[in-house]
């Protein structure tokens, strides 16, 4: 055990003992700082605390307390002095197109940042009516603070394309939309035209992110632009209203998300067989984004999630961005057709534990 760092669970179980499975479960909970009788969710500051855990003391006594101290010290020193050899998310040489970025506080922006931090080149498609404001905000440095990547550099967006994914081809666009002043000065913004423009500019992409409230046609971009020789990844964003009743989440949005999830499974098969493209969707929890605020009760949904999810914290956009980077990376090379829930575990709940009905129960609370 000299110079190799192992996990706390490995350290604790390395002592020669055999325990029935219920004890193992309780011991595992104790390692994570959870009492079997009360909700103590405090984290252990270091693995050295494991040697003092009562379940292991009673059942797995070491022959030498000195050995325990020496081995723990060696592990701690090894962990601090050696660089982590973990699995990196390396997207260098990859090109990503994120459809649906119009500001710096939504999931699309966070996903772009995570992909950029992993080394990917970033292209974005911005809804035409929001294009001028978005581009001018970038030029004026309004987003510079939120462009900062983990290494201190700023995320660079190689090119911004005007995009309205509701319309597949120019002939699909109604005359009143063409005449709308919010579309004046922009051209080539239907799905077909954006595909042609990206092909002309870059040839192909490796990653497509569908970060749109609607416009399912944007997934066509991936099938037409992702290099079939190298495969690729297509990622969309959905919401639990696709499978659960969320009062007030109307306007056809819940049905659209349900269709999106169905399309994810079908496209995973078709694009996987034909072009080796992986297709997944992230079911993200509520976020105070500009788009979400338009629903009108986003604060209520965030409060509900914090009160009822297994992880009692507010979801950050970066957490969704990092999940997307994982799905786009070679580390997820066998994952396709999947709905990945990034919602602090709220999807797993069958009831709202903040209901007065459960007042008499000893419901665990976050102690952090």
Task: Tokens for 196, please give them.
Answer: 């042609």
Q: Could you give the CA distance from residue 351 to residue 336 in angstroms, rounded to a whole number? A: 30
Marked catalytic residue, from 107, 161, 249, 304? 249
User: Catalytic: 161?
Assistant: no
Q: Could you give the CA distance from residue 310 to residue 347 in angstroms, rounded to a whole number? A: 10
Q: Could you give the CA distance from residue 243 to residue 262 in angstroms, rounded to a whole number? A: 11
Buried b (16+ CB within 10 A) or exposed e, 80-104: eeeeeeeeebebeebbbbbbbbbbb
The distance from CA 98 to its chain's CA centroid, rounded to whole angstroms, is 14
202 Cβ neighbours under 8 A, 6+ residues apart: 95, 123
Task: Tokens for 104, please give them.
Answer: 């710096």
181 Cβ neighbours under 8 A, 6+ residues apart: none
- CA proximity to 267, closest of 208, 211, 220: 220
Helix (H, G, I), strand (E, B) or coil at 345: coil
Rg (CA), the chain: 25
Marked catalytic residue, from 107, 183, 239, 341? 239
- CA proximity to 190, closest of 213, 232, 221, 160: 221
The catalytic residue positions are 239, 249
């Amino acid at each position: 055990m000299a110079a190799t760092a192992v996990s706390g669970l490995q350290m604790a179980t390395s002592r020669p003992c055999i325990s029935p499975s219920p004890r193992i479960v309780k011991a595992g909970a104790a390692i994570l700082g959870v009492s079997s009788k009360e909700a103590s969710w405090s984290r252990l500051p270091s693995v050295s605390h494991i040697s003092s855990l009562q379940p292991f003391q009673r059942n797995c006594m070491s022959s030498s307390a000195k050995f325990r101290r020496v081995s723990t010290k060696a592990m701690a020193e090894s962990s601090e002095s050696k660089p982590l050899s973990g699995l990196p998310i390396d997207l260098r040489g990859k090109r990503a197109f994120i459809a649906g970025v119009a500001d710096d506080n939504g999931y699309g922006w966070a996903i772009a940042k995570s992909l950029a931090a992993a080394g990917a080149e970033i292209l974005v498609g911005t809804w035409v009516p929001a294009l001028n404001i978005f581009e001018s905000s970038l030029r004026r440095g309004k987003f510079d603070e939120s462009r900062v990547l983990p290494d201190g550099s700023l995320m660079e967006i190689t090119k911004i394309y005007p995009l309205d994914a509701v319309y597949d081809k120019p002939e699909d666009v109604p005359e009143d939309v063409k005449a709308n002043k919010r579309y004046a000065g922009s051209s080539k913004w239907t799905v077909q035209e954006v595909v042609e423009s990206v092909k002309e500019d870059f040839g192909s992409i490796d990653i497509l992110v569908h970060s749109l409230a609607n416009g399912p046609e944007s997934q066509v971009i991936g099938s037409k632009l992702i290099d079939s020789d190298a495969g690729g990844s297509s990622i969309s964003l959905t919401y639990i209203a696709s499978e659960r009743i969320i009062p007030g989440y109307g306007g056809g949005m819940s049905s659209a998300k349900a269709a999106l999830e169905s399309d994810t499974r079908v496209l995973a098969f078709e694009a996987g067989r034909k072009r080796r493209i992986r297709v997944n969707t992230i079911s993200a929890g509520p976020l105070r984004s500009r788009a979400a605020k338009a629903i009108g009760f986003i604060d209520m949904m965030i409060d509900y999630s914090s009160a009822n999810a297994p992880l009692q914290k507010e979801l950050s956009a970066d957490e969704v961005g990092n999940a997307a980077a994982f799905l786009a990376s070679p580390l997820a090379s066998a994952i396709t057709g999947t709905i990945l829930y990034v919602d602090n575990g709220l999807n797993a709940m069958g009831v709202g534990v903040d209901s007065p009905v459960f007042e008499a129960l000893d419901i665990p609370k976050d102690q952090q």
